[in-house]
Amino acid sequence: MPTAEEMLKKFNDTKTLPHVALRLAQLISNENTRISEFEKMIKMDPTLVVRLLRVVNSPYYGLRRKVDSISRAVVVIGMKSLRNIVVTTGIKEVFAKGPHEEIFSRAQLWLHCAAVGICSQMISERIFGRAGDDAYLCGILHDIGIIVEDQVAQDLFVQVCQNYTPNAKPFVQYEKETIGTDHCEIGHLLALQWNLPADVQDGIKDHHKTEGEILPSSLTGIVQTADYIVSRLNYKAIPEMQLNLSKDLGIYIRDNMEEFKAMTKDLPDELSKAKELYESEGE
């Protein structure tokens, strides 16, 4: 069985992920990066420029004045928000339609990741009163390891999906038994390579962890909660997938049920506003 490191090396060798998007994610993680460096890198990909400006001017950000330059976009919405747009627009092509849509749909996974990203941001901002940029990034990337498995170990991954039985045992256990690793470990290594914030790395690694203490306000807690909520709303990564919450998170949701109900009621509208972030060109 391949290790997570071997799978990631093979994935990187295919150059599936856009170089510019990855380099930008690394630049933004460096606090010493100047706006001029960021703008110069984006301009290397004219298509990305068009997409970024289209998204920045979409209803999701609700700006009164049209933004017509990358430097202006940085000033208006901030470096972290722009980072999230770059990463989102950069990776969504990886989720293009695959050869086994009847077993596993990359498009469905992308919609799930978008929903988890947006829900994570809402939880961070509405429930905990904190900026939600890192929560969004962690949510949008939490299942990126599934794409790696599907692209470099497709036969084994299809076998996992075919063998998966809801409520029998967690999906990650099927992955480990069949592939030798799981999407959480692979995604964590990818986030580490990209030099993303440590708590984003941890949130990706532990979003299926249910044992031990999990702080509800941590990125791990936020993303696991968002994953659970959007899956119950039928935005599932894998058909029929059942997710479990840690005891700590279950208690927290129960004790704050009214706030979560109000937030969940607004989620479809937020997804609709953010469609520019996750729809492919021409959709």
User: Same domain for 29 and 120?
Assistant: no
Residues 152-197 have pLDDT tens digits of 898 999 999 999 998 889 999 999 999 999 999 999 998 888 878 8
Reading the block at residue 192, the tokens are 């580490």
User: Same domain for 100 and 149?
Assistant: yes
Q: Which one of 26, 61, 95 terminates a domain? A: 95
Q: How many domains does the chain have?
A: 2
Whether the Cβ atoms of residue 267 and residue 232 lie closer than 8 Å to each other: no
User: Same domain for 41 and 77?
Assistant: yes
- Would you state the pLDDT for residue 277? 62
Distance CA 138, CA 199 (A): 9
Q: Considering the domain boundaries, does residue 223 fall inside one?
A: yes
Average pLDDT over residues 218-229: 96
The predicted model scores a pTM of: 0.85
Residues 165-176 have pLDDT tens digits of 988 899 999 999
C-alpha dihedral, 265 to 267 to 270 to 272, nearest 10°: -100
User: Same domain for 140 and 186?
Assistant: yes
Residues 21-38 have pLDDT tens digits of 666 666 666 667 777 777
Distance, CA of 73 to chain centre: 22
User: Same domain for 86 and 100?
Assistant: no
Range of the domain at 194: 96-283
Q: Which one of 95, 128, 154 terminates a domain? A: 95
User: Same domain for 113 and 134?
Assistant: yes
Q: Which has more pLDDT, 19 or 262?
A: 262
User: Same domain for 147 and 123?
Assistant: yes
User: Same domain for 136 and 275?
Assistant: yes
**SS3 labels along 81-135:** HHHHHHHHHHHHHHHCCCCCCCCCCHHHHHHHHHHHHHHHHHHHHHHCCCCCHHH
Check pLDDT > 60 for residue 280. no
User: Same domain for 181 and 267?
Assistant: yes
Q: What is each CA distance from 168 to 165, 229, 242, in whole angstroms?
A: 6, 21, 10
- Across 2-6, 92-96, 212-216, 254-258, least confident range: 92-96
Identify the CATH number of the domain in which residue 223 sits: 1.10.3210.10
User: Same domain for 217 and 85?
Assistant: no
User: Same domain for 205 and 76?
Assistant: no
Q: Which one of 95, 111, 138 terminates a domain? A: 95
- Would you state the pLDDT for residue 73? 80
